[in-house]
Structure 1
């Protein structure tokens, strides 16, 4: 199970060593709940990522209102960590709030921009764009 995004951010703030930050990112990816093979469809595939990435977006209705429910997976352990970050950020948000939330800001806040390839950065951007588009669609 993934920790709340606030806990993840706090943990990254305490880790100064780049190697340890990468290890923590990989650990987060390993904590992703398994994504069923049936959801690894072409429709759920995120285009523009160097690795294969799938994100399934659903809407859960609870007494407090509709909430985003996401599942994700990548064939790369590092990218699974980025998927975990985005799922921790967006899961449980109301669709309207999710559509307005900039996951790239989290990516910058955690200072990954200078430590990953431009292809990986573009992949994270595509994940964020995909989730925000799905959120806007679900909010409508």
Structure 2
């Protein structure tokens, strides 16, 4: 798949495009608004910013470049998710307790691709980032 690259897309969208280029189906998800609520509009949303924006959820996930560009235009600033199923295992590292995610990855001996996630902007964890590490299914993740 060839694609044009410009500066109008978010880093999250570019990561989604990269996943799609490697055969992983992706889809846009809701985000968390400045007031802390999910952009789905449900006051009691139990998964703010972490569920699909598409009408059929994960079944809409695709690698199609045109669909991705359409969604990016329709949902600017969306979170993006990969529908990984049994293709890969994802280790989610949330550095909420002050530990550096890079150190955790090294300590666990994780060697898969890493996508760095949110970064705290203030407080005792300012600058600390989480990570998603993509591993082969069944890969040993705990020593």
TM-score bracket, shorter-length normalisation: under 0.3
TM-score w.r.t. length of structure 2: 0.24
TM-score w.r.t. length of structure 1: 0.24
* Structure with bigger gyration radius: 2
- Which structure has greater helix proportion? 1
Q: Flag the structure with more relative contact order, 1 or 2, with Cα contacts below 8 A and sequence separation at least 6.
A: 1
